[in-house]
Structure 1
Amino acid sequence: MPWLLSSQVELVSSSPSERQCERTAFSFYCAVRERLPVWLLEDMRRMEVFCWEDGRPRAFLPSEALLYALVHDHRDYARYLLNRYSASALRAPRCSFCRRRSSSAQHLNMAVRYDRVSILGTMMETLKDFDTPSERREFLDGCGGGCSHVADAGKTAVLLAVELSRPDCLLLLLVHGARPDGLDAALQTLVSCDAPQRRDAQRCLDLLLLFLPKPLPLRRLQEEPQRWQSLLGNEVFGWLCGLAPPPLLLQALRCLARSGPDQISKLPDFLQPHSWQ
């Protein structure tokens, strides 16, 4: 499966039936990669493509097909799966190696890693179909802790967006209620990234500050105060250290940021979050 770590693809099939399942799965993977029409992909998934599980073949699940659609940015197919199967399309499949079911954050992490902003937006619209607030919370803030074989296991989608400097993905997650963790990682990314990535890393930090309820004490700020004061600006640095209230512009933008992902991005440059520094 393309979402598994490459170093773990070491299982050799011995059964002819199992090898046939692998061939059909690979054919389906290629069909999604070629972005064939949705109706054709669904016919393949339901009638021609099989996975080998517990000693017998089974049809591909919508959630597994969605992972393929994420990898290859097949937006029409992803939209169909999410509209047709709703929250069940976001249910994480079992790991092929340990048979454990990973966190539902697997789909979110995949969308962030491949920077699939459009599909991620459709996934966020599906949140309304979750049965309970706790299920929505688990989906948004899950960290894939159930299985270590999945790429990015142990990381929330927000943390991954911060580490990879994906501001558009991060804004979608935060607007829809994801926990704004990862401030320390955002600071580390900002000082360690290359120059071409610095603008996106700065924007990720700014977005976290917009949604952060209150600053948390960070050791790195205390250890190098002059460095961070020059990088963040006096007002932001003082607020993060608990020495001053948040900047007025930051306070004004908080309500706007929570009203929708488009509200911040449409502001003129002099009112963008970086201007409070």
Structure 2
Amino acid sequence: MPWVVPTQRDCVALSASQRQCERTAFSFYCSVREQLPVWMLEDMRSMEVFCWDDCGPRAFLPSEALLYALVHDHQEYARFLLDRYSVSALRTPRCSFCCCCGGTPLLTVAVRYDRVAILGMMVETLRDGGAPEYLDSCGGCAHVANAGKTAVQLALELSQPRCLLLLLLHGARPDGLELALQRLISCDAADHCQARRCLDFLLLFLSEPLAPPRCLQDEAQHWKRLLGNQLFSWLSGLTPPPLLLQALRCVARSGSDRINSLPDFLQLHGWH
């Protein structure tokens, strides 16, 4: 009967099942960390490893296995999961803290760990699977570090230019101009080059600023020195885009290898 209070034996059995799920999940985590062969990991995931949720024990989902592969950069296992399960392997895993479906999107995990190779596999899967809208997803529970941020915004915040370029080349929205500018002025000297690179890549895919960024209205002379007169004037809405920027946009859209192989004097950071 639903109103019958569970016995002490039931509670002990329940906690024992939960502990067994935790043990198998940790064993799976260690196996991915140790880069065990793909066939062995998939056998474990489908037959030996269990999670505990509201309905009791269940097998690990492909998206949860992909999360482990991302954390430990197991590229072969990530490739298998994406080839076998396609876009379903990219569904946001359940949040282990509050057991809701708003966990961390896997694209942002790839950016946070700078897993460029696996991120490339992921964006190709989204393109082939007809789910480009996932590129701009910003889910996540309120207590998750990346909550409310797209993968592009996180790449700008963490100064991850390789991840940012991959996302933009595959159709992610180039949102976050003000974030990129603030990152450029707030980062330390060690990260300045990467932050500038992120701003450069963002500008290649930004057609027109909707409005002049508010931060440029303060300390205009400082921003002119930092960005150069041409870029500052364009971002302030005073002039058209510089010719170099317009030319490099065509190069950037032809592939990341093309823009990365340009000599330094043709990079955007060299125009001022």
> Does TM, normalized by the shorter one, top 0.5?
yes
Residue in structure 1 matched with residue 126 of structure 2 by the alignment: 127
2:233 aligned partner, one-letter code = G
Residue in structure 1 matched with residue 71 of structure 2 by the alignment: 71
| Aligned sequence identity (%) | 69
**Deviating 4+ runs (over 6 angstroms):** none
Residue in structure 1 matched with residue 192 of structure 2 by the alignment: 198
Residue in structure 2 matched with residue 252 of structure 1 by the alignment: 247
Distance 2:61 2:143 in 1: 19
Distance 2:80 2:183 in 1: 36
Displacement of 1:233: 0.2
Displacement of 1:100: 2.3
Distance 1:129 1:205 in 2: 28
1:29 aligned partner, one-letter code = Y
CA-to-partner distance for each residue in 1:83-132, whole Å, 9 max, x for gaps?
111101001122233332127x710000000000000001111013434x
1:170 aligned partner, one-letter code = L
Among 216, 228, 235, the alignment partner of 2:223 is 228
Distance 1:97 1:237 in 2: 45
**Contact 1:247–1:276 (Cα < 8 Å) also in 2:** no
Residue in structure 2 matched with residue 140 of structure 1 by the alignment: 135
Q: How do 1:57-96 and structure 2 match up within 5 A? A: 57-96=57-96
**Contact 1:250–1:276 (Cα < 8 Å) also in 2:** no
Displacement of 1:169: 0.2
Any idea what SS the aligned residue of 1:35 has? coil
**Contact 2:93–2:105 (Cα < 8 Å) also in 1:** no
Query: Which sections of structure 1, spanning at least 5 residues, go unmatched?
Result: 1-12
Displacement of 1:43: 0.7
Distance 1:170 1:128 in 2: 16
Q: How do 1:37-56 and structure 2 match up within 5 A? A: 37-56=37-56
**Contact 1:210–1:257 (Cα < 8 Å) also in 2:** yes
Does residue 171 in structure 1 map to residue 170 in structure 2?
A: no
Displacement of 1:23: 0.5
Distance 1:68 1:91 in 2: 14
Distance 1:26 1:97 in 2: 16
Residue in structure 2 matched with residue 114 of structure 1 by the alignment: 113
Query: Which sections of structure 2, spanning at least 5 residues, go unmatched?
Result: 1-12
Distance 2:55 2:100 in 1: 16
Q: Give the CA RMSD over aligned residues.
A: 1.5
Distance 2:97 2:269 in 1: 45
Deviates more, 1:89-98 or 1:32-41: 89-98
2:52 aligned partner, one-letter code = W
Distance 1:182 1:99 in 2: 30
Any idea what SS the aligned residue of 1:51 has? strand
Displacement of 1:267: 1.0
Any idea what SS the aligned residue of 1:15 has? helix
**Contact 1:171–1:207 (Cα < 8 Å) also in 2:** yes
**Contact 1:95–1:149 (Cα < 8 Å) also in 2:** no
CA-to-partner distance for each residue in 1:196-237, whole Å, 9 max, x for gaps?
111000000111111111023111101111010110000000
**Contact 1:21–1:52 (Cα < 8 Å) also in 2:** yes
Displacement of 1:143: 0.9
TM-score normalised by structure 2 residue count: 0.91
Distance 2:181 2:127 in 1: 33
Distance 1:212 1:95 in 2: 34
Distance 1:121 1:128 in 2: 11
Residue in structure 1 matched with residue 27 of structure 2 by the alignment: 27
Residue in structure 2 matched with residue 3 of structure 1 by the alignment: none
Greater relative CO, 1 or 2 (CA 8 Å, sep 6+): 1
Any idea what SS the aligned residue of 1:93 has? coil
CA-to-partner distance for each residue in 1:140-196, whole Å, 9 max, x for gaps?
111115x22333111110010001000000000001111111111111111111111
**Contact 1:239–1:246 (Cα < 8 Å) also in 2:** yes
